[in-house]
């Protein structure tokens, strides 16, 4: 699961999400779609 927190108008994402970068988006698209 990806945890997203809204603070000061910024979106903070889990460190793993940040480390994976574009790859994370591909994985998410596969999971959600």
The answer to whether residue 6 scores a pLDDT higher than 50 is yes
Among 11, 10, 14, which Cα is nearest to 1's? 14
**Which pTM does this prediction carry?**
0.24
For residue 17, give every residue at least 6 positions away whose Cβ sits within 8 Å of its Cβ, in sequence order, or none: 2, 24
Of 21 and 6, the structure prediction assigns the larger pLDDT to: 21
Residue 31: burial class (beta carbons within 10 Å; 0-12, 13-18, 19+):
exposed
Instruction: For residue 33, name the pLDDT band (cuts at 50, 70, 90).
Output: very low
Distance, CA of 1 to chain centre:
9
Among 23, 30, 24, 32, which Cα is nearest to 14's? 24
Tokens of 31: 């999971």
């Amino acid at each position: 699961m990806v945890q997203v927190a809204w603070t000061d108008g910024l979106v903070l994402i889990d460190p793993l999400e940040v480390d994976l970068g574009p790859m994370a988006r591909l994985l998410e698209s596969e999971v959600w779609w």
